[in-house]
Amino acid sequence: KLFGNDPERDERLIVRSERPFNAETRREDLRDSFVTPNHLHYKRNHLPVPVVDEEEFALEIEGPHIEDGFRLSIKELKERFEKADVMVALQCAGNRRKDMTTGTDKPVKGLPWEEGAISNAVWSGVYLRDVLAAAGYPVKEYEKAHMEGVEHVQFDGLDGYGASIPATTAMDPQREVLLAYEMNGEPIPPDHGGVLRVVVPGTVAARSVKWVNKIALSDEESWSHWQRHDYKGFSPSATQETSDYEKAESIQDMPVQSAILDVSERDNRTVHMQGYAWSGAGHGIVRVDVSADGGKTWMDAELHVPPQDRNRRWAWTKWEATVKLPKGVKETELVCKAVDTGYNTQPETVDSIYNVRGVLNSAWHRVRIPVGE
C-alpha cells in the first residue's frame, strides 16, 4: 500500500492534498502559540511517509575527505555529539501562493496555500558541522571548501526526496544547520521526518530534508527534481514554457515576510490585529507597520521578538496592534508589512513578484473588513 504508513492527522489542519498529505495550519492555531505544537505544525509531503526503523537506521556520509563508508546510527549520533536546541520557523516557498493570483486570471502552478504554510518549532539534534568534522571534513576551513570542489551538501530522504544547500551554509557555525531527532522535545513525528531530518534555519523549508539517510559533499547541487526543476523563482513575464530551470538560481535564503493572523473587534471603530513576521538568513524583524486604511497611514505594531541574536533570528517574530478604523466608509483594508535588520521590506503588491510557479509571495498582506456605523 503506497500510503499505508501515513499517520493519523489532526482534524484542525486545513488539507490542501490528501495523497501525498499537504496541510496548512489554521490562522487561529498559529496565533495561539509562539511555538506551534507538533500536531498543528503545517505538513508538506511530496511522497508517501516512509517506514523508518530507529534500530536499523543508519546515516551515510560521502565526499572528499570523508572516511570511506562512514555511517552513524541514531544511538551514535546522540552519544557522540553535543545536543543543540534551535527555534526555527520553517516556511514553504509556496506560502501565500493563493494570494498571488487573487482577482486576476493569471495562471499559477502549485497547492493553493494561504498564510499557514509556516510554523515555528524548537528542533533538537546535533550540528551538521560537527558530524561532518567527525567524518573527516576540515570544516574549520570551510571557506576554502570550493578549492577542493566542495560547493554543495546534498541530502537524500528515505521517501525519495532530495535537496542541497551551499557548503558554506552547511559548515558555517553561525548558520546552526541541524540533524534533528527531536521536535518540541519529542521524537520527531512521522510526518515531520522522524527519526532524523535536516533543519536549515533561515532557508526555504524545501531544503530541510526529512527522513534523511544520506549526505554527500559535492561540486554539484542535488540532482533531485525538487532542487533542479522546482523551488526557483522567475520573472513575472516568464511562462510555464519559458521558465528556464537550468539558468535560474535555486531558492535558499528567503525574503522578508509577514501576515495577519487575526482581526478582532474592540468596538465599532477599533480592531486588534495579530500576526507573524519573519525573514531569511537569520535576519531579525525590526519593525512591523500596520495600516487600517489600505496603506495611506501607518502605525508601528508591538513586537514579540524571540530570544535570538539579531543575525540568527531563525524563529518568527509575532506582532499585535490596536488600530482605529477610518470614518465615512463601509469597508476598509487592513495591511501589514515587515522590515528586517537589513531594512529590507515587502513589495506593495504581487504584480512585481508574480511568477508562474507561485513561489515567494511576500507582498503586503491585506485583509478587507466591513466598518460599522
Q: List residues binding Mo ion (CB under 5 A).
A: 44, 92, 206
Alpha-carbon separation of residue 122 from 31, 37, 193, 221, 317 (angstroms): 17, 10, 14, 28, 14
What minimum distance in Å lies between the beta carbon of 52 and ligand MTE?
11
**Which residue's CB comes closest to ligand MTE?**
157
As given in the structure block, the three cell numbers for residue 262 are: 487575526
Which one of 7-15, 44-52, 279-287, 321-329 is the stretch in contact with ligand MTE (CB under 6 A)?
Answer: 44-52
Alpha-carbon separation of residue 335 from 69, 121, 130, 288, 307 (angstroms): 54, 26, 43, 10, 26
> Is position 205 an interface residue for ligand MTE (rule: CB under 6 A)?
yes
Asked if 212 and 200 touch (Cβ cutoff 8 Å), the reply is: no
Count residues contacting ligand MTE (CB under 6 A)? 20
Q: Is 266 exposed, middle or buried (0-12, 13-18, 19+ CB in 10 A)?
A: exposed
Residue type, 206: A
What minimum distance in Å lies between the beta carbon of 49 and Mo ion?
16
Which one of 104-112, 127-135, 155-163, 268-276 is the stretch in contact with ligand MTE (CB under 6 A)?
Answer: 155-163
**Binding-site member from 97, 175, 192, 232 for ligand MTE (CB under 6 A):** 192
Q: How open is the CA angle 110-229-349, to the nearest 5 degrees?
A: 45
Return the H-helix or E-strand segment holding 319: strand 317-324
> Is position 59 an interface residue for ligand MTE (rule: CB under 6 A)?
no
What minimum distance in Å lies between the beta carbon of 195 and ligand MTE?
12
**Binding-site member from 161, 276, 319, 354 for ligand MTE (CB under 6 A):** 161
Nearer to ligand MTE, 9 or 269 (CB): 9
* DSSP one-letter code for 230: S
Question: Rounded to whole angstroms, how far apart are CA atoms 115 and 298?
Answer: 22
Nearer to ligand MTE, 281 or 339 (CB): 281
Q: Which positions touch ligand MTE (CB under 6 A)?
A: 41-47, 90, 92, 157, 159, 161, 191-192, 205-206, 208-211
